[in-house]
Amino acid sequence: MRFFNTTGPVDPADHYCVPPLGRFDLDEVLRLVDGEKYFVLHAPRQTGKTSSLLALCDLLNGQGYGCVYTTVETAGTAHDDVERAMRAVLSGLGSDVRSTLDDEFLAKEWSGILAEFGPNGALREALKRWAEASAKPLVLLIDEIDTLQGDPLLAALQQLRAGYPMRPGAFPQCVVLCGLRDVRHYRIRSTSSPFNIVAESLRLADFTREETLALLGQHTRETGQAFTPEAREAIWTQTLGQPWLVNALAYETCFRSKAGRDRSRPVTADDIAEAREALIVRRVTHLDQLADKLGEERVRRVVEPMLSGADEHAFSNRDVEYVRDLGLIARDKPVRIANPIYAEVVPRELGWVLQETLDQDTAGYVDADGGLDVGKLLEEFQGFFRRHSEHWKRRFEYEEAWPQLLLQAFLHRVVNGGGRIEREYGLGRGRVDLLIVWPQDGQVREFAVECKVVREGDGLESTVEAGVEQTAGYMDRCAAEAGHLVVIDRREGRSWDDKVFHRQRRSESGSPIDVWGM
């Protein structure tokens, strides 16, 4: 039985998969190979790079090339030790050439070449001798290139560049570098790229909507288990085709869930929602690795103004390119988080400490009929904010977004009562929109909560007026039954008695809005 794969390269015999060679423009890749070009293939982690390279290797070997896939990941542990790194690169390459092409040359010769030419010349000489001894034009696919850092990476790239003029007779005809980032971002103790011979930089795309649905369809055809239209739509809208997320949601519902293993039972949108929450709560490796990047300064410069909805930002084009290469933000404009699952992970991760330390008992906010009293919840937050905001302000790493993160972390307790929070935030929005979704008696109730911040130079009343209309618009779009506007006054010199209030306002369309000042 095949299954949805979330670990390592895909094997079509064992895994449902989108055809790996269909993940990029194959005609363009073959044109570059035939044209003796060196190029880059990059994409975020767990998007299918290795699977695509392995499939390309098989294809090229069937077309008369001598193509070898190798990874330099183990050499990354050498840090700045160039000799140790080159020893790992050459030994791995020799082994891969032997297993792929049944060619013993490099496996026997690499250690002697390293001893004779040293770590700054051995890779070039090894590739030169291999190409001269080969009856076929050589293609080298180097994966995880950016696990090399500092001097080892510089040494590897410079040696590949030095051998480039000797191709194809005395050096590989084509070299493909594969990693997280575009090679032009490798600025190793230099003001320019150490590898300026790249003809093209290709990025592996996420799944399209059609590919996502086709992947799910493979499971249905082979097992008879259907995905409801709502479930298929939920998988697409929550992941926007990020390959690991698509496979993880499907695996969670169809294989990890005991109920989901009943093939007579269709997969529903509720199943997908539960799987999404389970992946986030378990902090699975893919999401944990992504969350870990939030501590980097260049990531913070991009993400923080999105969380606060600020119009101004301090990030550079290079910051955006880096965060985009990580897969955290979308590939196209405007700058925004790449998909709803990542958008949920970011504020949860940044507010994790508060979420863990708060009393998570929801009983005080649930009435006798099982309904959620959002007004009582926000009133409690108002008191919490007055008492503890200065303490938590100092503990949030994202200083400009701490009020929004504090609110979201406090409201997160509803998740433990069986509800969920849907979030909308982004650069230049001037607000954060939160939708509390609460199940009750087999139905779903929805409450809109909008957060706006009053900063120096802003007027309180104008902020409230704009916020009321924005909240009303959000309520209408989500069909929420009630709307709440949280206004956080960050202006200096304001007393808490002035900042803390509760008012009821109506929008121009007549929608009642509760306004909570603090």
Residues 362 and 433 in one domain: yes
Cα–Cα distance list, 10 to 6, 53, 73, 218, 249 (Å): 9, 11, 19, 14, 17
75 and 142 part of one domain? yes
82-85 contacts at long range (C-beta below 8 A, 24 or more positions apart): 82/119, 82/120, 82/151, 82/152, 82/155, 83/114, 83/118, 83/119, 85/119, 85/148, 85/152, 85/155, 85/156
Q: Quick check: is 1 in a domain?
A: no
Reading the block at residue 25, the tokens are: 């423009």
Distance separating alpha carbons of residues 460 and 447, to the nearest angstrom = 24
Question: Do 47 and 33 reside in the same domain of the chain?
Answer: yes
Beta bridge pairs of residue 179: 42
Q: How far is CA 413 from CA 238, 348, 460, in A?
A: 22, 11, 29
Q: Which of 190, 164, 192 is nearest to 177 (CA)?
A: 164
Q: Is 200 helix (H, G, I), strand (E, B) or coil?
A: strand
- At which residue do the structure tokens 């390119």 appear? 321
CATH code of the domain covering residue 217: 1.10.8
Q: Are residues 168 and 246 in the same domain?
A: no
Residue 155 and residue 82 in contact, taking contact as beta carbons nearer than 8 Å: yes
Structural domain contains residue 292: no
Rounded Cα–Cα distance for residues 8 and 202 (Å):
21
Q: Which among 203, 219, 241 is the end of a domain?
A: 203
**Residue 191 has what pLDDT?**
46
DSSP result, 252-302: IIIIISTGGG-TTSPB-HHHHHHHHHHHHHHT-HHHHHHHHGGGSHHHHHH
Residue 363: per-residue pLDDT: 77
Residues β-bridged to residue 504: 514
Does residue 247 form part of some domain? yes
Question: Kind and range of the H or E element at 453?
Answer: strand 443-454
Which pair of structure tokens corresponds to residue 14?
A: 């064992």
Is 32 inside any structural domain?
A: yes
- pLDDT tens per residue across all 518 residues of the chain: 999 999 999 999 999 999 999 999 999 999 999 999 999 999 998 999 999 999 999 999 999 999 999 999 999 999 999 999 999 999 999 999 999 999 999 999 999 999 999 999 999 999 999 999 999 999 999 999 989 988 999 999 999 999 999 999 999 999 999 998 877 666 555 545 557 888 888 999 999 999 999 999 999 999 999 999 999 999 999 999 999 999 999 999 999 999 999 999 999 999 999 999 999 999 999 999 999 999 999 999 999 999 999 888 889 999 999 999 999 999 999 999 999 999 999 999 999 888 888 876 777 888 888 999 999 999 999 999 999 999 898 888 898 999 999 999 999 888 777 888 999 999 999 999 999 999 998 899 999 999 999 999 999 999 999 999 999 999 999 999 999 999 999 999 999 999 999 999 999 999 999 999 99
Read off the CATH number of the domain in which 140 is found: 3.40.50
* Rounded Cα–Cα distance for residues 44 and 182 (Å): 11
In a domain, residue 406? The reply is yes
Residues 385 and 405 in one domain: yes
Whole-angstrom distance, CA of residue 318 vs CA of residue 268: 41
Q: Which domain holds residue 372?
A: 356-517
> Tokens 């900063």 appear where?
455
- Distance separating alpha carbons of residues 267 and 216, to the nearest angstrom: 11
* DSSP symbol at 189: S
**Are 369 and 232 in the same domain?**
no
Contacts of 282 (CB under 8 A, 6+ apart): none
Q: What's the burial of 440, exposed, middle or buried (CB within 10 Å: 0-12/13-18/19+)?
A: middle
- The torsion angles phi and psi of 487, rounded to 5 degrees, stand at -115, 115
Residue 329 lies in a domain: no
Do 376 and 415 reside in the same domain of the chain? yes
Query: If DSSP codes are grouped into helix, strand and coil, which group holds residue 224?
Result: coil
Residue after which a domain boundary falls, among 238, 264, 282: 282
Does 443 lie in the same domain as 493? yes
User: What pLDDT is recorded for position 414?
Assistant: 81
Q: Which residues on neighbouring strands pair with residue 175, listed in sequence order? A: 140
Decide which of 139, 168, 203 is a domain's last residue.
203
Question: What is the pLDDT, as a whole number, of residue 181?
Answer: 81
Residue type, 378: L
User: Would residue 302 count as lying in a domain?
Assistant: no
Q: How many domains does the chain have?
A: 3
Whole-structure pTM value: 0.91
- Which residues fall within 8 angstroms of residue 162, CB to CB, at 6 or more apart? 124
Do 199 and 276 fall into the same domain?
Answer: no
Indicate whether 385 and 482 sit together in one domain.
yes
Residues 103 and 193 in one domain: yes
Whether residue 313 is contained in a domain is answered as no
Q: What is the residue-wise DSSP string for 310-370?
A: -S-----HHHHHHHHHHTSB-SSSSP-BSSHHHHHHHHHHHTHHHHHHS----GGGB-TTS
28 and 147 both lie in a single domain: yes
Contact present, 265 and 225 (Cβ < 8 Å): yes
In single-letter form, the type of residue at position 412 comes to H
